[in-house]
Amino acid sequence: MSKSNRNDPRRSTASQSTLTFYEFNGDFPDDAACLEWIVGHLYPDGIYCPKCERVTKHHRVKNRTCYSCQFCGHDEYPLVGTIFENSATSLKLWFHAIFLMSQTRCGISAKQLERELGVTYKTAWRMANKIRSLLQDDDDTPLSGTVEMDETYVGGRRRGTKRGRPGKDSHKTPVFGMVERQGRVVAKAVPNTKRAEIMPHVKKKVLPEAMVYTDEYTVYDSLNRSGYKHDRVHHAEEIYVAGDVHTNTIEGFWSLLKRGIGGVYHSVSSKHLQGYLDEYAFRYNHREDPGGMFNAFVNRIEKGGPEAAS
C-alpha cells in the first residue's frame, strides 16, 4: 500500500520539474522568508558595518525591510538598489511573479500575472518589466564550435511568410540570432538585416574558428571573407537539412519566441523587444542549470542593476 501523504504532495523523481509550486510555497511562505533569502544572497559573508568597519551581526528591524548592527545600530537597507526598492508590493508576490515567469517556456503575459497575483494590471506590467531587466545578456563568452545564424521578423500586424523578408513599409522588427549547437543563443533586435548591422554582432559574439551554417541570404556571403568557415542550406531548392548543414536549432528558438510573442505578449513594441529577446534567450541558455530556472532568475538579483535607478 502506498504510504504517500495526500496532503503533502511530493515531486515524482521521474518528473522534469525542478521546483513545484508546493516546494516554492514551502521555501518562501511569507515576506520575511523572501527578505531573508535576499539578505543571504546579497551579503553572502554577512553585512559589513561601515561604522564598526567590519562584518557584524545585524538584526532585522521589526516590520521594516531594514537590518541594524547589533553594536552601533547602523541601519542597512538590503532592498535599496534592487528591483524591489520603493515597491509597495509584498516580496512574496514579487517572488511568486518570478516563480511564474521562470516556470514557463513560452512566457507569461502581464494580464496573466495580474490574475494570478491579484495585483492591478499596471503593477503586474511593471513587475514583469523589472524582473525581465534582471535577465539582460551580459555573458561575453563567445559562441564557438558549430554556430547557426538566421534572421526573423517579429511584432507588427502583417504576417510574413516563413522565409519572406517584409518590405520597407512593414511594422515588423528584424531580429538577428546566433546559436551554438548544444549551447547558447544570442538574439538581437536590429534596425535592418544589412551586412553593416549583422557583421559587428557576429564578430563580437562568435569565435573566428567557428563553423557557421546559414540559409542562402546574400548578407552571409561576407562570413567567408571575415575568416569564418561557412556553409549554407538551400531553402530555395527546398533542401532544409544536408548532413550537418541545417539551421534547425535557431529555427526552433524562433518558433519558441514567436509562440510567446504571438500568443502571450500579442504585440511587443520595438522599444521593449530587446528585453523580451533577452528573457527568451535567458530561459533557453539556462534550460539545463542544475539549480533550476527559478534559482537562475533569483540569483540575478543585485544592487545597482540596470533598472534600479528608474
Q: Where does this chain touch Zn ion (CB under 5 A) — which range of 74-82, 171-179, 206-214, 277-285?
A: 74-82
Helix (H, G, I), strand (E, B) or coil at 150: strand
Assess contact for 190 and 196: CB atoms under 8 A. no
Interacting span for Zn ion (CB under 5 A) from 66-74, 122-130, 136-144, 190-198? 66-74
Question: Do the beta carbons of residue 278 and residue 137 sit within 8 Å?
Answer: yes
The answer to whether residue 194 forms part of the interface with Zn ion (CB under 5 A) is no
Q: Which residues neighbour 139 within 8 Å (Cβ) at sequence distance 6 or greater?
A: 184, 285
Among 83, 75, 82, 118, which Cα is nearest to 100's?
Answer: 118
Alpha-helical (H) ranges within 106-247 are 110-117, 121-133, 195-205, 222-225
Binder among 9, 11, 17, 71 for Zn ion (CB under 5 A) = 71
Q: Is the CB of residue 186 less than 8 Å from the CB of residue 121?
A: no
* Choices 63-71, 120-128, 172-180, 226-234 (CB under 5 A): range interacting with Zn ion: 63-71
Stretch that binds Zn ion, among 44-52, 149-157, 189-197, 204-212 (CB under 5 A): 44-52
Q: Pick between residue 74 and residue 195 the one whose CB is nearest to Zn ion.
A: 74
Contact flags string 4-43 toward Zn ion, x per CB under 5 A: ----------------------------------------
Q: Is 51 or 105 the residue whose CB approaches Zn ion more closely?
A: 51
User: For the chain, what's the residue count?
Assistant: 310
Strands 211-214 and 146-154, sheet pairing:
parallel
Which residues 6+ apart lie within 8 Å of 254 measured at CB? 150, 152, 177
From first CA to last CA, the distance across the chain in angstroms is: 57
> Would you state the cell numbers that stand for residue 145, as one nine-digit string?
564550435
Which one of residues 25, 46, 55, 72 is an interface residue with Zn ion (CB under 5 A)?
72
Nearer Cβ to Zn ion (57/194) = 57
Q: Using CB under 5 A, which of the segments 32-40, 51-59, 107-115, 235-243 binds Zn ion?
A: 51-59
Q: How far is the CB of 55 from Zn ion (least distance, A)?
A: 10
Least distance from C-beta 295 to Zn ion, angstroms? 31
Least Cβ distance, residue 34 to Zn ion (angstroms)? 25
| Residue in 35, 38, 39, 49 binding Zn ion, rule: CB under 5 A | 49
Kindly state the number of chain residues that form the binding site for Zn ion, as judged by CB under 5 A: 7
Q: How far is the CB of 43 from Zn ion (least distance, A)?
A: 14
Residue type, 207: L
The window from 50-58, 151-159, 186-194, 291-299 that contacts Zn ion (CB under 5 A) reads 50-58
Using rule CB under 5 A, residue 158 touches Zn ion: no
Interface residue with Zn ion among 32, 52, 239, 241 (CB under 5 A) is: 52
Give the full edge-to-edge strand order of the sheet including 229-232: 185-189, 173-180, 146-154, 211-214, 229-232
**Contact flag: residue 69 with Zn ion (CB under 5 A):** yes
What is the 3 state secondary structure string of 245-258?
A: EECHHHHHHHHHHH
Residues that bind Zn ion (CB under 5 A): 49, 51-52, 69, 71-72, 74
